C-alpha cells in the first residue's frame, strides 16, 4: 500500500519542481530580454536626430519604396487608406493596391475616387500568383497602381503586387492600418546604415482604438476607453518594447508584423515571396529569410526599429479577439513546424539555439503548457483535498457504514473536480461581484423538502415496480403472441 502512494508523491514532487523550473526559466529569459532590450534601446537612441532625418528627406539619394496593399472587400476604408499612404512623408514612394477578388465595390470605389483607367503593366512573374484580370492607373501624376486579380488570399495578393513593384524596397501594409507620417523614413534607416545586408525591417505597431483619426492620420492619441482594447494596448507595448528589441539585437527576430513591414525586394524574391498556404505568412517569411541566409552563410540582418510606425485597430469583442488569436497561434505553429529543422542546430547560431527553442517552448506550447499545467495542478490538488476529507471522515466519524458508499464518495471526490468545482468558482466570483454591486435579497430558491423527497422516493419506487411489472407482462405477452404467430405460420 505504501509504494504506490510514495511513487504518486514522488511524481507529484517532480511535477511541482518541473513547474517551478518552467516558471523560473520563462521569467529569467523574459528578464534577460528586457535588460538586453533596455541597453539596445539606449544604443538606438544615440543614432539619428530629427534634423538628420529632415536632411535625409531632402535627398534624392534615398531609395525608392513601393507600398503593396492587399485589399479584399475593403470598400468602406480603402479610399482613406490609399490617400493616407500616398501622402506619407517620403520623397520617393508609390502605392500598389492589389484587389484580391473583392466581391464588394472595392475596385469601383478606387476607380471613381482616383480617376483610374485601364493600363498596360508588365509583371516580371518572379513569384507565382493567381491570374491578374486588369491593371489600373490614374490619369494624373499620382503614383498609384491598382492590380485587379482573382482571389488567392493575402500572401498571394502580396506576391502579385511584388511582380509590379520596380523599387529596391517593398513595404507590405494592411489596408486597415494607418502609417505614421515618418514611418517609411524610420524603417528605411537600417537599409541605409547597412546597405545590402538588411533584408527586412519592422517597427512598433500601436493600438488606434481610442485615438482620433482624420483623413487617414492619427490626430489625437489616447488610450482606449473599452477594457478589451486597453488590455491589448498593454500587451502590444510589452510585446514590442520587451522582446522584439532584444531579438532584433540578437539578429533573431522571428516576426515582422504583417500590418507593416519593409523588405529588400531582391531578397524577398530570392526567398520565394510570401507563402499562401499558411495563415501566418508574415512570421513564416521572416523565419524563411533567416534560414536561407544562414544556410548560405551570408552576412545579413533582420531589424526591428523601436519607433512607432503603424496604428492598427484591435478587436473590441471577445469573439473577434478569440478568432484573431486563434489565427495567430495557428500561424506560429505552422511557421515553427515548417522550419522545425532549425531548432537546436548550432549552424543557425542564436536563431537555432535560442530563438526557435524559445518560440517553441514559450510561444507555441506556452499557452498549452500553462493551461495544461495549471489545470492538472488544480485538479490534482482538488482531488487530493477531497480524498483527504473522505479519509478524515472514515478515520474519525465513520457515518457511512457500507464500502459501496465509501467508494462512491471517493469517485465523487475525483469527478467533482471536472466541471462541478469550476462552476462553483464561477458562481462564487459572481457572488463577490454581486456583493460589490450591493445586490440584496436571497433570490428564488427551490426546496423540495425532506418528507416530500421520501414520498417522492416511495412514489418513484412504486412507479418503477409498476413499470417493470408492465414491461414484463408486455414482454411475456409479446413473446407469447410472437410464438403463437410463429406456430401458426409453421
Partner 1 sequence: MISERTAHVVVFAKTLAACAAYAAAIFLADSVYFAKRFRARELSIGVSVAFVQCAVIFCMLTFSFLKKWIDQVRDRNAERLRPRIRELLAKYAAQSVSPAHFIELSQTNASAVEACLLESLRAVRGSGRQAISRFAGEIGLHLKWQKEYGSRHISRRKNAVARLALLSRDLSGDTLRRALADPDESVRLHTARAVLQNCHPGEAGQIFRLAVEGSDITRIILSEELRPYILELVTEAIPTMLGSPDSKKVLCTLEILHAWGKFLPLTGIYPLLRNHSAPVRAAAFRLLALLPRLDSLNAEILHGVSDSNPAVCCAAAGAAASVGLQAAVPELARCLHQNDPRTALSAAQALARLGAEGCRMLEKETLNGSPLASAVALEALESARTSRHEMVGAS
Cα(67)–Cα(161) distance, integer angstroms: 9
Whether the Cβ atoms of residue 194 and residue 300 lie closer than 8 Å to each other: no
Q: Is 9 in the site for partner 1 (CB under 8 A)?
A: no
Q: Of the candidates 1, 61, 403, 404, which one interacts with partner 1 according to CB under 8 A?
A: 61
Place of cell 485615438: 211
Rounded to the nearest 5°, which phi and psi values hold at 296? -85, 0
Cell of 41: 534601446
Residues 6+ apart with CB under 8 A from 34: 242, 246
Stretches 56-64, 267-275, 327-335, 420-428: which one binds partner 1 (CB under 8 A)?
56-64
Residues 6+ apart with CB under 8 A from 422: none
Q: Is 260 in the site for partner 1 (CB under 8 A)?
A: no
Which among 59, 260, 277 has a CA at the least distance from the CA of 156? 277
Q: Is 139 in the site for partner 1 (CB under 8 A)?
A: yes
Cell of 192: 541605409
Q: Is 93 in the site for partner 1 (CB under 8 A)?
A: no
Cell of 406: 465509501
For residue 194, the number of C-alpha atoms closer than 13 Å in the C-beta half-sphere is: 13
Cell of 329: 497561434
Q: Is 195 in the site for partner 1 (CB under 8 A)?
A: yes
Residues 6+ apart with CB under 8 A from 108: 75
CB of 35 to partner 1, least distance (A): 5
Q: Is 367 in the site for partner 1 (CB under 8 A)?
A: no
CB of 9 to partner 1, least distance (A): 16
Looking at the Cβ atoms of 9 and 32, the one nearer to partner 1 is 32
Give the other-Cβ count within 10 Å of 159's Cβ: 28
Q: Is 156 in the site for partner 1 (CB under 8 A)?
A: no
CB of 188 to partner 1, least distance (A): 10
Which among 360, 370, 344, 359 has a CA at the least distance from the CA of 247? 359
Looking at the Cβ atoms of 59 and 103, the one nearer to partner 1 is 59
CB of 278 to partner 1, least distance (A): 29
Q: Is 148 in the site for partner 1 (CB under 8 A)?
A: no
Using CB under 8 A as the binding rule, the residues of this chain from 17 to 46 that contact partner 1 are 20, 27, 31-32, 35-36, 39-40, 43, 45-46
Q: Is 234 in the site for partner 1 (CB under 8 A)?
A: no
Cell of 217: 492620420
Place of cell 499545467: 373
Q: Is 347 in the site for partner 1 (CB under 8 A)?
A: no
Q: Of the candidates 1, 2, 50, 51, which one interacts with partner 1 according to CB under 8 A?
A: 51
CB of 65 to partner 1, least distance (A): 15
Alpha-carbon dihedral 182, 186, 188, 194, rounded to 10 degrees: 160
Place of cell 522545425: 340
Looking at the Cβ atoms of 40 and 109, the one nearer to partner 1 is 40
Using CB under 8 A as the binding rule, the residues of this chain from 308 to 337 that contact partner 1 are none
Stretches 60-68, 232-240, 339-347, 425-433: which one binds partner 1 (CB under 8 A)?
60-68
Q: Is 137 in the site for partner 1 (CB under 8 A)?
A: yes
Which among 56, 62, 67 has a CA at the least distance from the CA of 265? 67
Q: Is 381 in the site for partner 1 (CB under 8 A)?
A: no
For residue 436, the number of C-alpha atoms closer than 13 Å in the C-beta half-sphere is: 6
Q: Is 125 helix (H, G, I), strand (E, B) or coil?
A: coil
Looking at the Cβ atoms of 90 and 311, the one nearer to partner 1 is 90
CB of 339 to partner 1, least distance (A): 25
Query: Rounded to a whole number, what is the distance in angstroms from the first to the last CA of the chain?
Result: 64
Cell of 157: 495578393
Q: Is 141 in the site for partner 1 (CB under 8 A)?
A: yes
Cell of 128: 507565382
Q: Is 476 in the site for partner 1 (CB under 8 A)?
A: no
Site size for partner 1 (CB under 8 A): 38
Residues 6+ apart with CB under 8 A from 388: none
For residue 207, the number of C-alpha atoms closer than 13 Å in the C-beta half-sphere is: 24
Which among 44, 89, 349 has a CA at the least distance from the CA of 193? 44
Q: Of the candidates 50, 58, 220, 397, which one interacts with partner 1 according to CB under 8 A?
A: 58
Q: Of the candidates 192, 226, 376, 385, which one interacts with partner 1 according to CB under 8 A?
A: 192
Q: Is 60 in the site for partner 1 (CB under 8 A)?
A: yes
Q: Is 225 in the site for partner 1 (CB under 8 A)?
A: no
Q: Is 119 in the site for partner 1 (CB under 8 A)?
A: yes
Looking at the Cβ atoms of 60 and 438, the one nearer to partner 1 is 60
Cα(105)–Cα(102) distance, integer angstroms: 7
Q: Is 253 in the site for partner 1 (CB under 8 A)?
A: no
Looking at the Cβ atoms of 19 and 379, the one nearer to partner 1 is 19
Residues near partner 1, by CB under 8 A: 20, 27, 31-32, 35-36, 39-40, 43, 45-49, 51-52, 55-56, 58-62, 119-122, 124, 137, 139-141, 166, 189, 192-193, 195, 249
Amino acid at each position: 500500500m505504501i509504494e504506490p502512494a510514495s511513487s504518486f508523491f514522488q511524481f507529484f514532487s517532480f511535477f511541482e519542481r518541473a513547474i517551478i523550473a518552467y516558471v523560473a526559466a520563462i521569467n529569467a529569459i523574459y528578464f534577460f530580454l528586457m535588460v538586453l532590450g533596455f541597453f539596445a534601446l539606449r544604443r538606438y537612441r544615440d543614432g539619428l536626430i530629427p534634423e538628420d532625418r529632415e536632411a535625409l528627406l531632402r535627398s534624392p539619394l534615398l531609395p525608392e519604396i513601393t507600398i503593396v496593399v492587399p485589399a479584399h472587400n475593403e470598400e468602406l476604408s480603402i479610399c482613406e487608406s490609399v490617400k493616407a499612404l500616398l501622402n506619407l512623408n517620403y520623397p520617393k514612394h508609390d502605392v500598389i493596391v492589389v484587389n484580391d477578388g473583392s466581391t464588394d465595390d472595392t475596385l469601383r470605389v478606387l476607380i471613381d475616387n482616383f480617376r483610374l483607367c485601364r493600363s498596360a503593366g508588365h509583371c516580371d512573374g518572379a513569384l507565382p500568383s493567381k491570374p491578374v484580370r486588369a491593371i489600373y492607373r490614374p490619369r494624373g501624376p499620382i503614383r498609384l497602381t491598382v492590380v485587379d486579380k482573382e482571389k488567392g488570399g493575402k500572401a498571394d495578393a502580396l506576391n502579385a503586387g511584388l511582380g509590379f513593384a520596380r523599387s529596391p524596397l517593398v513595404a507590405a501594409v494592411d489596408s486597415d492600418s494607418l502609417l505614421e507620417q515618418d514611418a517609411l523614413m524610420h524603417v528605411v534607416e537600417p537599409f541605409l546604415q547597412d546597405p545590402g545586408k538588411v533584408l527586412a525591417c519592422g517597427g512598433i505597431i500601436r493600438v488606434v482604438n481610442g485615438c482620433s483619426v482624420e483623413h487617414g492620420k492619427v490626430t489625437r492619441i489616447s488610450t482606449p476607453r473599452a477594457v478589451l482594447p486597453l488590455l491589448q494596448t498593454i500587451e502590444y507595448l510589452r510585446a514590442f518594447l520587451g522582446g522584439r528589441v532584444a531579438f532584433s539585437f540578437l539578429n533573431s527576430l522571428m516576426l515582422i508584423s504583417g500590418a507593416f513591414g519593409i523588405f529588400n525586394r531582391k531578397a524577398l524574391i530570392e526567398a520565394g515571396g510570401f507563402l499562401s498556404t499558411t495563415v501566418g505568412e508574415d512570421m513564416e517569411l521572416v523565419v524563411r529569410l533567416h534560414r536561407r541566409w544562414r544556410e548560405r552563410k551570408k552576412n545579413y540582418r533582420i531589424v526591428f526599429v523601436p519607433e512607432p510606425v503603424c496604428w492598427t485597430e484591435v478587436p473590441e469583442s471577445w469573439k473577434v479577439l478569440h478568432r484573431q488569436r486563434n489565427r495567430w497561434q495557428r500561424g506560429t505553429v505552422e511557421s515553427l513546424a515548417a522550419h522545425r529543422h532549425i531548432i537546436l542546430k548550432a549552424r543557425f547560431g542564436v536563431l537555432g539555439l535560442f530563438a526557435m527553442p524559445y518560440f517553441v517552448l514559450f510561444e507555441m506550447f506556452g499557452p498549452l503548457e500553462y493551461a495544461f499545467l495549471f489545470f492538472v495542478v488544480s485538479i490534482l490538488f482538488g482531488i487530493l483535498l477531497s480524498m483527504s476529507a473522505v479519509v478524515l471522515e472514515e478515520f474519525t466519524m465513520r457515518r457511512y457504514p457500507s464500502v459501496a458508499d465509501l467508494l462512491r464518495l471517493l469517485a465523487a471526490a475525483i469527478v467533482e473536480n471536472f466541471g462541478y468545482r469550476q462552476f462553483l468558482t464561477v458562481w462564487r466570483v459572481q457572488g463577490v461581484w454581486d456583493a460589490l454591486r450591493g445586490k440584496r435579497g436571497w433570490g428564488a430558491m427551490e426546496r423540495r423538502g425532506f418528507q416530500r423527497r421520501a414520498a417522492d422516493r416511495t412514489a418513484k419506487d412504486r412507479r418503477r415496480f409498476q413499470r417493470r411489472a408492465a414491461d414484463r407482462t408486455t414482454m411475456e405477452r409479446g413473446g407469447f403472441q410472437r410464438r403463437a404467430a410463429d406456430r401458426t405460420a409453421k
